[in-house]
Amino acid sequence: MTVTKIASRADEQAEIIRRVEEDIIFGRLPPGARLIEDNLMERYGASRHFVRQALVHLEHTGIVQREKNVGATVRSYSTAEVKQIYEVREMLTRQAALMIPLPAKASLIMELEAIQAEYVRYAERGDLRGIHDTNDAFHIALFAACGNPYLVRSLQDYMGLTLPMRAKNLADHNGLQVSIQQHDMMISLLRGNDNWALSQLCVEHMHSSKADYLQRVAVPGPNLGPD
Amino acid sequence: MTVTKIASRADEQAEIIRRVEEDIIFGRLPPGARLIEDNLMERYGASRHFVRQALVHLEHTGIVQREKNVGATVRSYSTAEVKQIYEVREMLTRQAALMIPLPAKASLIMELEAIQAEYVRYAERGDLRGIHDTNDAFHIALFAACGNPYLVRSLQDYMGLTLPMRAKNLADHNGLQVSIQQHDMMISLLRGNDNWALSQLCVEHMHSSKADYLQRVAVPGPNLGPD
DNA sequence: GATATTTATTATTGACAATATACCTGGACC
DNA sequence: GGTCCAGGTATATTGTCAATAATAAATATC
């Protein structure tokens, strides 16, 4: 019940979005779960207006589905959709990686190393939210180096869209270790000259979470009991 | 003052968005113009709620800029930004075109021919709005054939973003004729087997409006007077 | 030239309206 | 007598609005 003094009213909505996202990512709100405005209002202590706006945003992002006069639910993705989403994300990723001038500037490498250090710290602590955020920050910082902010924006769109799929992977100890190693490899490739290798690594980096998710979808969790 | 019985309240917002877009596209609202809620409310006979919502949407689209407590303005693009936007759009377009299975199904070709016929009709009549809409419809229908709705969605995003740049080109008689011819060529390429040629044509198809816009930006219109 | 004041504009809120869904009741047909 | 459908009512939920507060920019004043 800490009040924590929300910085400004404008950030309040962003905060709601973050928290709903978080709840979705970490499975507290499973796919298909209804997002009822009144509940969210109470849960986050916000007015209907902000909650609604947050839902509109999340709908646009793609992780929430809204139906007029009926309400919002957490969206779930079929295997076909997951493949399609990743197809585009991989394409954008590959392209962005190829556009990064190599060898990268020292400032970029320093920035990434700083983020990576933080990432490792969160990983050790098992702070899921921190892991997730620094992971995203790492990729954004990396791809920003491609020089085209619009490409980065689109990549971010797809990172948001694949949020639910990636979360579980980062919670898994093994997957997390692999992710950390791959980030390190990316940094070392930035010192070299091989855009193609970088591009390939970035695409592979996505592969595990995608495969993982598809597997999870194919074999529905047995510990949920009959429905 | 025709009332025209707006189909449903939900469509009202879409209608406002359409009309604001239209005003921006056709230059009635030039880049930098302020979009004042009260004005729009009166102009479109809508409540503040819908106008605001429309502005939020247009901001997300990218053709409107909003600053807290200050208001919304029509966004303008620097040459660098235009190039970056088109860089991504071309990339997505190329990719989508390469993914269309050739030769295309007869149903697709029929659909495109129908749209194209409408397009020509609007062109003859000089109906700018109709020209614009059918042109977009043509491309959406074409690229939908790539089989990945998410790729199409991203393409649509960029079509929206380049809206202000493309409009003037479609108003120009010459540019319009070229556009019509290129559409015909696309349809005939769909009957063949050469994805690469199709891809190339689609990218070239964008080139004229892009070049045109960049030229227009480079040589500011002289009939606006000093500011 | 700095500061107070006014004005134009957007942000926020809570009350109310509209809508869809779930539930319940009554009746008819099997 | 039981069951299933139709209709209507209640309820849960979202949609809309208009009044008010908050903010930033412009203007006037000293």
| Coil/strand/helix, residue B66 | strand
Distance CA B17, CA A103 (A): 45
pLDDT of residue A220: 56
- Our CA angle for A101, A102, A106, nearest 5°, is 95
Mean pLDDT of chain A: 88
The strand C neighbours among A residues 120-159, by Cβ under 7 Å, are none
- A216 vs B78, which has greater pLDDT? B78
C-alpha count within 13 angstroms, C-beta hemisphere, residue B10? 4
- A7-39 tens-digit pLDDT: 455 677 888 889 988 888 888 888 899 999 999
* D strand bases under 7 Å from protein CB: 12-19, 22-25
Same-fold call for B9-74 versus B79-218: no
Which H/E stretch holds residue B121?
helix B106-125
Residue A225 has pLDDT above 90, yes or no: no
Nearest to B84 among A87, A95, A150 (CB): A150
Give the pLDDT of residue B9.
58
> If you search the block for the tokens 């979705």, which residue do you land on?
A24
Q: What backbone phi and psi angles, to 5 degrees, belong to A34?
A: -80, 140
- Could you name the CATH architecture of B9-74? Orthogonal Bundle (1.10)
Distance from CA of B9 to the nearest CA of A (A): 11
Residue B5 has phi, psi (to 5 degrees) of 45, 85
Q: Which of B170, B200, B158 is nearest to A153 (CA)?
A: B158
Domain ranges of chain B: 9-74, 79-218
Protein-contacted bases of chain C (C-beta within 7 A) = 8-15, 18-21
Note the pLDDT of residue A8.
53
Report residue A168's pLDDT band, with 50, 70 and 90 as the boundaries. Answer: confident
**Which residue of chain A has the CA closest to B69?**
A10
Strand partners, B35: B72
Q: How far apart are CA A184 and CA A207, in angstroms?
A: 17
Alpha-carbon distance of A63 to A32, in angstroms, equals 11
CA-wise closest residue to B190 among B151, B143, B148: B143
Take residue B181 and report the two structure tokens written for it: 């011819």
Question: Which parts of chain B are beta strand (E)?
Answer: 34-35, 64-67, 71-74
Q: Which residues of A touch B61 (CB under 8 A)?
A: none
**For residue A68, which nucleotide's C1' is closest to its Cα?**
D14
Does the beta-carbon distance from B88 to A154 stay under 8 Å? yes
As a whole number, mean pLDDT of residues A56-61 equals 94
Is residue B88 within 8 A of residue B155, CB to CB? The reply is: no
pLDDT at B8: 54
Report the interhelical angle of A163-171 vs A128-144 (nearest 10°): 120
Question: Which mean pLDDT values do the consecutive 10-residue runs of chain B (227 residues) have?
Answer: 43 85 87 93 92 94 93 93 96 98 96 98 93 95 98 96 84 90 97 97 91 76 39
What class does CATH assign to A79-218? mainly alpha
* Backbone phi and psi for residue A35, each to the nearest 5 degrees, phi listed first: -110, 95
Residue that wins the pLDDT comparison between A58 and B5: A58
- Token pair listed for A226: 């009959």
Q: A59 to chain B: which residues are within 8 Å by CB? A: none
What residue of A is the nearest CA neighbor of B82? A150
Ramachandran region of residue A62, left (φ > 0), alpha (ψ -120 to 50) or beta?
A: left
pLDDT class of A224 with cuts at 50, 70, 90: very low
| Record: contact A84-B151, CB cut-off 8 A | yes
